[in-house]
């Protein structure tokens, strides 16, 4: 399971601070695509390109690979 954390304005926009995701995603690009498919605020937030991303507390980009036990944090703000 990948642990997802949401910070700053994302908490208000998405209505949650964290979740665990059990999905076959191999990199951040696939994860963001999956989250955008939820529609509504999710599509807006992850379609704007204004979210900073960390994987295991290291700033990352869309090409960063993911493993099942990773922690991914999304922070509102420009990339």
pLDDT in tens, 13-72: 999 999 999 988 999 999 999 999 999 999 999 987 789 999 999 999 999 999 999 999
- The H or E element spanning position 21 is strand 18-21
Q: How far apart are CA 79 and CA 69, in angstroms?
A: 24
DSSP symbol at 61: -
Q: How far apart are CA 72 and CA 45, in angstroms?
A: 16
Strand partners, 65: 27
- pLDDT value of residue 78: 47
For the entire predicted model, the pTM comes to 0.92
- Range 2-76: architecture per CATH: Roll (3.10)
The strands making up 51-55's β-sheet, listed across from edge to edge, are 18-21, 2-7, 71-76, 51-55, 58-59
Domain ranges of the chain: 2-76
């Amino acid at each position: 399971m990948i642990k997802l954390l949401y910070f700053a304005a994302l908490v208000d926009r998405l209505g949650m601070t964290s979740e665990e995701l059990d999905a076959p995603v191999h990199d951040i690009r696939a994860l963001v695509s999956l989250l955008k498919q939820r529609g509504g605020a999710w599509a807006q937030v992850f379609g704007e390109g204004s979210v900073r991303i960390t994987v295991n507390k290291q700033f990352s980009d869309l090409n960063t690979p993911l493993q099942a036990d990773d922690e991914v944090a999304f922070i509102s703000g420009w990339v």
